[in-house]
A and B are shown apart, each in its own frame.
Chain A
């Protein structure tokens, strides 16, 4: 330890109990920190920096934060990343930190991390009164100086900074330092690189002076308040902080969820000026408007061709690109419920006075050709919730008609739209691949290949179950009477569950001699392959879920694991985690046990095959008998669940029939449900419930569960309002009452009506979420929809959604049966809460990405067609209606009048009815609509719905 010296940093912090604690951080300084340069450390074989490079670059923090897109261009090599910079980046923006780490990992790029804070000669102690920023800048200059001295005459060391003060001080100290822009301009391929350069607010002025877009004079928006004022006023309760959500059917409005306004859970921002440059997802601070400027609860749908005097229309119409139709609709629906349930006729309105945290990430956009002035263009994000963006480009011709990725940089007070910069091109608009990429990017889905390190976590090719592993487990392969089989959708390659049932011999039967069954659910034992803390585990935890698009899927774990090693294929020995019950004739559970097993599936069937076997009375082979036993018990289980109030809900989802070659959609199908589906489902539910009980019993504070809360009070008011006009009413006092009242919503003349009510019921309910058992009182563990007091996910560790949750549950269960201890992290409620947070986000994102993909294929499908179909009105507003087309599972807005035109209808805002002479439009009315693709903007085709029957009057 001779090479280390110690320094200390002393500071105080408030403890949780409000006391003051003095902290001392001892910090060791050393001489053996690798410099990464072969000139300085000739003995170090792992030098990242090149010996022949003419110069090394040192970046300051802001350059990394703002110009990450530039750094990702391969043109920049031999870069020294200082620990000071990495730490600052990590604390400021973890997404950029991850991208930076990826660059460091890339050998070709030659990025070296220099731990300057630990090097004796570059360590920089903060001086009294020095701000952390100033200290960090000084540390960066000091490290630059160190490199310069070491490399004098051998290689130039250049500090890139856009901070004027840092630049001045660096030059004063005799260092080579430059602004990013001037450095990039001096490079041979400057043209390309300048495109991706992010603009700084201070630079923007200069850029504009050079012939850019002419701005309206003065300030378009109100300047934000200083941070110190904001935090004071928020604490005092005169300003309110919350997350901004742009309204999906009217993107020029937004709501901010707040807790600090009595009687209101959200504040409405009525226009772009009120949003004051805040965008979707930002954490903002709002000031309330005086009450006389508040708004009535009923409102219009976003107007077509609204306030856009700059360019062509920016409609909030029924673009099928708009990412999450269903979710979006659901959100609006919920918002409406809430607003109504609050019984106040006015909605609180406010305006943004400050932005605490931006939720900016790269956006997929389309360039608007005619928007150009000089090199400045407007691009329109595919996600309609974001405003158009100004970018500077010299290659507009190449970008037209393409999906491009654009990063947001800043939004000036005087600019109508924010400024960003071009990052890369995905492909042509309408191209299936490019559009799918766009969907993945928009939903923040990780698409990178699995690294070699992750692949290395899997056993070598040709793996079979080792003998000692078999010896540790219960071997079900040759157990008499146990016939394990699986039933899945056709063509399923990742089979993660299998079943068996057998009548127990009389000797093991019940007390009174009544027959007992042994039923088993066998789940692929992923835990054998994915050990906690390994590279593959960390990656899976980050991804959280496999994402299914219409034509491809983005795996959470390498394909080989799901499709081969774990998949419970027919006639192959596989490892399983089994939940085995003894069940009596009336489907009461007598006993439950959990075991690690070895199984060999007798048959991997599709739902249809299984159904055929069960229905064919002539078949009496053991496998079929096994299926029939399972089915008989499943039916009883289902009956019991239904009696307890389990809801049968519905979604309008459809499946595409794709052309086998072009992968273009040729037809649409509804999902068909058979009895065999229900059979598998019942057993999976039973297994999940049994496991949930077991892990919560053993780990009451840190079990990972899933709950579905009861509907929020008033959540059904709107739906009931609509239903009342048709003589129906839903009783939401309990899930049983709801289930029964749903069953009564039947119009004999319209078989779809009941399904529609179920779809809308789904949307009126809260979302099911993963949670950590310690964070909620046991009464709230309830899964409302399944009418189960407790629930978790155990049965899908490799398929479907958010399977990482299943893997965590597997680990807990394995610990309970004494199979394998778990890491303390799994038992730390705080860590579990963090994990759950990510899983819920990933789950939602995966769902939305899937739906967006369906939307994309819907659009591709209608490109060649114009179809007239039945549709149902599901929302009625002053200037339009929202309709759902069951055949294609699509929904969209139909306006009854154009903006600035007289509305031929009168709107009854109590009953939500539009009336015109001879015509009345109410919710649940059936219409005929024409579906076609609106290609009036070739770069942004979108689905257009128009009512053909009855004929709507025009003004």
Chain B
């Protein structure tokens, strides 16, 4: 007898997806994450477009990590045409990206993960008893959005970020205001670490075979941009070689391909993978907190990703304050340099809030002739499915409600962005 248990819509993840668990008399027969994702569509619709026009399309893959897509695509396009940005421009891009990181982590931790742990179906219900936490979430999300507004000019799609730099820059006073806002938000990030240190990491998904992949930060400081990918087995490869080492495979039940390390092994990307590979590059308060909570930042449990994001909130707020300091020390800054559009192929891999995002862009006669995008959720799908299966196997005798609850929590720990972004209301 097969009993399909279906969660049509995984509540509280970005995008649209579902879990299908097929049970047999012997237990779990099959687990499928049914993911509807559209990067292939975005690759296709940008072919033949002028490179500048294509760069306006890529961030629309996801409105929640649009800065990640925008900045990764810009870096790939700049490499394709043979342009290297100035250090100040790179600082500004780091800052814009950090805005995305802060907003995304705050939203995921407080509004998506926390209700599960506290027994609520949504953040609205938490308001009476956990008003402080909801206000904390909104304040952290807000400072992330303010950074993106100021530098990207719009909180979504960041049209101010262009090849060669930025259309215009915020004023010195705006940077100073942002710095003050970040300083005010810092204690809330510390509170987040304390709060999430108390939450359970389910042993059911303990996985000693986990392989973590993260960028090797370019400047030796824990961060977002880099030229090599680090693997937790000790291997490193240049970003240009990602298609050799991250092999995508089509699976029947998903529009999104599954990714395998060297064609064989599922792997994980995200905040916990950044910590596993690059914790030695943390500094400041985050470094102290890492030392204090090292045991919770486990390489063998996907639930550690939640706590790793909490730690990153502290780190990235402090890092943003420092970057603003560097920018103001070099003030005034020329917003952009001219970029000569030449033929070529460029690859960029960066650390989106949810993990590595890879872009290859090939430009000919000023137009995009090839594009390849792998999102962090696509990279995580295979291992996410393995961990959902592990959870389901341990709880297949439980009620369907309990099984749904635990498997959904497992998926949410990955902070997946299943980005068709259908959000329409129903009447």
- A and B interact physically: no
Question: B residues touching A (Cβ–Cβ < 8 Å)?
Answer: none
Question: A residues touching B (Cβ–Cβ < 8 Å)?
Answer: none
